[in-house]
Amino acid sequence: MKSKTVYFCAGWFTDKQNKAYEKAMEAIKNNPTVDVDNSYVPLQHQYKGLRVDEHPELLEDREWSTATYNGDRVGVQTSDIILAIYIPEEEDVGMGVELGMAKAFGKYNLIVIPDEDWGKPINLMTYGVGDHFIKLSELENYNFNRPSFNFYEGAVY
C-alpha cells in the first residue's frame, strides 16, 4: 500500500498541545497510509539538535534561527501533505505561516481538531487555506492517498 509523508505541524508548549500531539502521533503510526518514518517532525529538526526552550541562549543566535527556519521550510516543501494539529483556543502564528506558505505552493492542508474542540471558532484565514477538516478521532482511519475537499463544520471569526 502506498503511503504519504506529512509535515507534522503542531505545538508542544502547553498541556493541551502536548496531549493532542501525542494522540496525533499515535494515530498516524497506526495509519498505513502515512509514511511516518520519512515524515518531517519539526521538533526532530531543531538545528544541531538544540531546542530553544531548553537553551534560551539560542533566542539571539541568528545562525540557529536561520537554519531551524529553513529546516521547517524544507519540511513544508518536501512533504506530501501538511498535517496541522489545530487547537481553536490556542492558535499559533507559526502554524499560520506554514499553512499559508503551503497553500501558495499548492500543497494540501489537512486540519485536525481535537474532538472536544470540534465546532469552536477558528480564524477566518485558517478556514480559507484549509483543504479538509477532520476530528482527531478520525485521523487514524483517514485515507491520505485520496485527498478531497470539505468545509469546516463550525464557527469562523
Q: Which of 14, 29, 30, 74 binds a copy of itself (CB under 8 A)?
A: 74
Binding residues among 5-34 for a copy of itself as defined by CB under 8 A: none
Catalytic residue, chosen from 26, 98, 140, 153, is 98
Measured between alpha carbons, how far is residue 72 from residues 7, 19, 45, 116, 127 in Å? Answer: 9, 22, 8, 29, 22
Under rule CB under 8 A, residue 41 binds a copy of itself: no
70 binds a copy of itself, rule: CB under 8 A: yes
Q: What value, to the nearest 5°, has the Cα angle with vertex 92 and ends 87 and 75? A: 100
The yes or no reply on residue 151 touching a copy of itself (CB under 8 A) is yes
Which region, judged by CB under 8 A, interacts with a copy of itself, from 20-28, 116-124, 133-141? 116-124
Binding status of residue 150 toward a copy of itself by CB under 8 A: yes
DSSP string for 91-102: --HHHHHHHHHH
CB 154 within 8 A of CB 121: yes
> Which residues are at the interface with a copy of itself (CB under 8 A)?
2, 35, 37-38, 40, 45, 52-53, 59-60, 62-63, 65-75, 77-78, 91-108, 121, 123-129, 131-132, 145-151, 154-157
Residues catalogued as catalytic: 98
